[in-house]
């Protein structure tokens, strides 16, 4: 190895150690799932553990973005595109509200190859055609420039006309690409779409199979469990699909293998997975689910478990503008502790009526002699700590690296009741925005959380899950300043804003609402949201 390469490697190790707040080498990362494609973003939430931490570098120098710096593909709503590499080409597969878009993203390109409509929902493609979408965007921009709250809210009906309605938002919100290049997305209630481009970079996607899980369920369960809200891949190659009321396990040919119902409970977000189990948070319980080979189980004898946690009445959550209407957790569970780490935890934000808490559960066996802590709902809870930034449950999932966990406030001070569009666009413009970012550190000696820092500047209207660059030491977040969209890089160790990237103008198409930040391997940001999928050319500013 050349001397310069040795110095670079040493610098990377030292930077990673400093980022984690420790004096040793880089903390263990989640094991790569061999059943997923090997890319920077194979699955929603970056990896099966949902840590939102990547090893490659992101941008470190801020600047004003020019129109040429942001490439877009029109779409009514897309949460988070996934990525695969084929013969040196970068392929983005973006499951959205109306179907699945394939985008060629090699080098600096961001070119639409084709759109595969969801089978049976082709009418959504007609509703959301670019001309219709552009017309609504122009009205939204005019209402924002006039600072007209009533006009902004009135556009909720117009957005419904192009397909943006609560029933359609789960379409494609969670998706993934397997090791053979097949793409999976949930849509239309309990349906799953498996598609492929035969790993041909310029070939459009085609349907391999569309599966309606409801067809395999008893009628009573099919009536009560109606919407898939999360998707993941187990370490033995099964698809885990969680719905509002049940967890399903399927093989990669979409054959149903197991069902675990949650009667009287709902699920608001996705799941996380490690080599031992599947982690699901319902409106009442945190669950570790294991596949025995014949059934899904939460029995401790099989290695599973269940635990209550603190929740609030649904009416209180709705009145406070929560996107989580059940009063339970709004976060996808995220995992902390891998490899030789002694403390292996699964972390959520709860729905405590006195103010949201970050809650950690022991993932495996509870340590011998561990005494249940006061105020916790069970001995399974390792610790919980109240946040200083939210009085209702947090919606963006935690971002975790080493012993650090970052959460974003998502309490709307003047919410628009039961109006997703109104809260997404009016907050931070005509109404106060949900604000604040807070980091906690896990102390393995005391087995407790400690407060690290709070940044109260960040506008979290987009409820956009951030991403951590281990190499750069920054966490990247969506933000608004004076009502205009930007991205910021916060120092992982201090919370200070180190860089800002302001979008080219005051348009609403730059929003990142409801998405998960992806950091491409060249340092560019890729984000979803309303009106367009965006590739932000900031990789040259590393």
For residues 218 and 222, give the distance between their C-alpha atoms in angstroms, rounded to a whole number: 6
When pLDDT is averaged across residues 28-42 and rounded to a whole number, the result is 97
Q: How far is CA 517 from CA 57, 247, 407, 469, in A?
A: 14, 26, 14, 11
The pLDDT assigned to 13 comes to 45
For residues 80 and 512, give the distance between their C-alpha atoms in angstroms, rounded to a whole number: 10
pLDDT level of residue 249 (50, 70, 90 thresholds): very high
Cβ–Cβ < 8 Å for 217, 258: no
Which of these, 320, 481, 467, 498, lies nearest to 392 by C-alpha position? 320
Beta strands in 387-447 (DSSP E): 399-401, 404-408, 435-443
Global pTM reads: 0.94
Range from 286-290, 412-416, 444-448, 492-496 carrying the lowest mean pLDDT: 412-416
For residues 274 and 176, give the distance between their C-alpha atoms in angstroms, rounded to a whole number: 16
Looking only at the bridges linking them, the beta strands covering 467-469 and 474-481 are antiparallel
Token digits of residue 323: 């996107």
For residues 213 and 191, give the distance between their C-alpha atoms in angstroms, rounded to a whole number: 6
Q: What is the pLDDT of residues 523-536, one digit of tens each?
A: 999 999 999 999 99
Q: What is the pLDDT of residues 78-123, one digit of tens each?
A: 999 999 999 999 999 999 999 999 999 999 999 999 999 999 999 9
Q: Which CATH superfamily is domain 3-106+116-541 in?
A: YVTN repeat-like/Quinoprotein amine dehydrogenase (2.130.10.10)
Token digits of residue 396: 């963006």
Cβ–Cβ < 8 Å for 358, 334: no
Token digits of residue 144: 């924002």
Determine phi and psi for 385, rounding to 5 degrees. Answer: -145, 135
Separation of first and last alpha carbons in the chain: 24
Element (H, E) at 381: strand 381-386
Residue-level length of the chain = 542
The alpha carbon dihedral of 469, 471, 474, 479 has a sign of negative
**If you average pLDDT over every residue of the chain, what do you get?**
93
Q: Between 130-145 and 149-161, two packed helices, what is the crossing angle to 10 degrees?
A: 170
The pLDDT assigned to 320 comes to 65
- The domain spans of the chain are 3-106+116-541
For residues 255 and 238, give the distance between their C-alpha atoms in angstroms, rounded to a whole number: 10
Enumerate the β-bridge partners of residue 83: 92
The pLDDT assigned to 426 comes to 97
Cβ–Cβ < 8 Å for 522, 535: no
The pLDDT assigned to 321 comes to 62
For residues 196 and 147, give the distance between their C-alpha atoms in angstroms, rounded to a whole number: 45
The pLDDT assigned to 12 comes to 43
* pLDDT above 70: percentage of residues in the chain: 94
Q: Residue 354 pLDDT > 50, yes or no?
A: yes
Q: Which residue has the tokens 């080493």?
A: 402
The pLDDT assigned to 19 comes to 58
Enumerate the β-bridge partners of residue 484: 481
């Amino acid at each position: 190895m050349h001397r310069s390469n040795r110095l670079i490697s040493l610098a990377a190790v030292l930077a990673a150690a400093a980022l984690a707040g420790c004096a040793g080498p880089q903390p263990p990362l989640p094991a790569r799932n061999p059943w997923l494609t090997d890319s920077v973003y194979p699955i929603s939430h970056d990896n099966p553990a949902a840590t939102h931490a990547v090893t490659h570098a992101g941008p470190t120098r801020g600047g004003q973005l020019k129109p040429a710096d942001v490439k877009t593909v029109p779409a009514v709503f897309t949460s988070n595109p996934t990525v695969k590499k084929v013969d040196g080409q970068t392929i983005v597969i973006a499951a959205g509200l109306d179907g699945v878009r394939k985008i060629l993203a090699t080098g600096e390109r961001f070119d639409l190859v084709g759109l595969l409509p969801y089978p049976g929902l082709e009418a959504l493609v007609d509703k959301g055609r670019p001309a219709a979408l552009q017309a609504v965007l122009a009205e939204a921009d005019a209402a924002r420039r006039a600072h007209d709250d009533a006009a902004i809210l009135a556009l909720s009906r117009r957005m419904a006309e192009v397909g943006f309605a609560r029933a359609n938002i789960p379409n494609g919100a969670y998706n993934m690409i397997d090791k053979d290049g097949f793409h999976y997305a949930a849509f239309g209630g309990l349906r799953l779409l498996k598609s492929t481009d035969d790993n041909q970079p310029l070939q459009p996607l085609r349907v391999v199979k569309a599966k309606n899980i409801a067809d395999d369920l008893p009628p009573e369960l099919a009536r009560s469990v109606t919407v898939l809200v999360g998707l993941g891949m187990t370490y033995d190659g099964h698809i885990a699909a969680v719905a509002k009321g049940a967890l399903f396990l399927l093989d990669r040919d979409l054959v149903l293998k197991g069902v675990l119902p949650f009667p009287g409970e709902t699920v608001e977000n996705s799941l996380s997975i490690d080599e031992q189990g599947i982690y699901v948070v319902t409106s009442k319980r945190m669950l570790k689910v294991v596949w025995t080979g014949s059934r899904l189980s939460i029995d401790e004898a099989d290695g599973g478990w269940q635990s209550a946690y603190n929740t609030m009445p649904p009416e209180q959550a709705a009145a406070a503008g929560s996107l989580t209407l059940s009063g339970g957790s709004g976060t996808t569970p995220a995992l902390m502790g891998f490899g030789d780490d002694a403390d292996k935890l699964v972390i959520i934000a709860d729905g405590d009526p006195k103010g949201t808490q970050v809650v950690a559960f022991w993932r495996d066996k509870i340590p011998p002699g561990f005494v249940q802590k006061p105020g916790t709902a069970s001995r399974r809870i390792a610790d919980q700590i109240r946040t200083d930034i939210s009085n209702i449950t947090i919606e963006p999932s935690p971002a975790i690296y080493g012993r650090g966990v970052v959460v974003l406030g998502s309490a709307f001070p003047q919410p628009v009741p039961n109006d997703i569009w109104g809260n997404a666009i009016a907050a931070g413009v005509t109404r106060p925005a949900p604000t604040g970012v807070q980091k906690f550190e896990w102390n393995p000696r005391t087995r407790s959380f400690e407060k690290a820092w709070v940044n109260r500047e960040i506008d979290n209207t987009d409820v956009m899950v951030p991403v951590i660059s281990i190499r750069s030491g920054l966490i990247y977040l969506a933000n608004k300043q004076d009502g205009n969209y930007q991205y910021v890089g916060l120092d992982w160790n201090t919370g200070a804003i180190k860089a800002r990237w302001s979008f080219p103008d005051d348009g609403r198409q730059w929003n990142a609402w409801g998405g998960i930040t992806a950091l491409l391997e060249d340092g560019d940001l890729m984000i979803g949201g309303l009106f367009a999928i965006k590739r932000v050319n900031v990789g040259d500013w590393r």
